[in-house]
Amino acid sequence: MSVQKIYDAILELEDEEVEAAVQEAIDAGVDTSVILNEGLIGAMDEVGRLFSAGTLFVPEMLMAANVMKLGLDMIKPLLKGDNSGRGIVIIGTVAGDRHDIGKNLVSMMMEGAGFEVIDLGIDVPAEKFIEAAKEKNADLICLSALLTTTMAAMGEAVAAIKSSGLPVKTMVGGAPVGQDFANDIGADGYAPDAGEAVLLGRNLMAS
Partner 1 sequence: MIIVGELINASRKAVGDAIKREDQDFIRKLAIDQAEAGATYIDVNAGIFVGKEGHYMEWLIENIKAVTKLPCSVDSPDPKVIEQGLKLNGDDVMINSISLEKDRLDAILPLVAGTPYKIVALCMDDEKMPETTDQRLKIADQLINKLVQNNVKLENIFVDPLVQPISTDKSYGMGFIDSVSEIMKTYQGIHTICGLSNISYGLPERKFLNRNFAVMAIAKGLDGLLIDPLDKKMMSSICAAETLAGRDDFNVKYLKAYRKKMLEV
Site for partner 1, rule CB under 8 A: 57-59, 62, 98-101, 104, 122, 147-149, 152, 176
In whole angstroms, the minimum distance from the beta carbon of 86 to partner 1 comes to 26
In whole angstroms, the minimum distance from the beta carbon of 13 to partner 1 comes to 14
In whole angstroms, the minimum distance from the beta carbon of 91 to partner 1 comes to 16
Whichever of 22 and 182 has its CB closer to partner 1, that residue is 182
Whichever of 105 and 126 has its CB closer to partner 1, that residue is 105
In whole angstroms, the minimum distance from the beta carbon of 58 to partner 1 comes to 3
Contacts of 94 (CB under 8 A, 6+ apart): 123, 124, 143, 144, 145, 150, 153, 154, 157
Whichever of 147 and 199 has its CB closer to partner 1, that residue is 147
- Strand 140-144 vs strand 169-173: parallel, antiparallel, or unpaired? parallel
Whichever of 34 and 147 has its CB closer to partner 1, that residue is 147
Whichever of 51 and 115 has its CB closer to partner 1, that residue is 51
In whole angstroms, the minimum distance from the beta carbon of 98 to partner 1 comes to 6
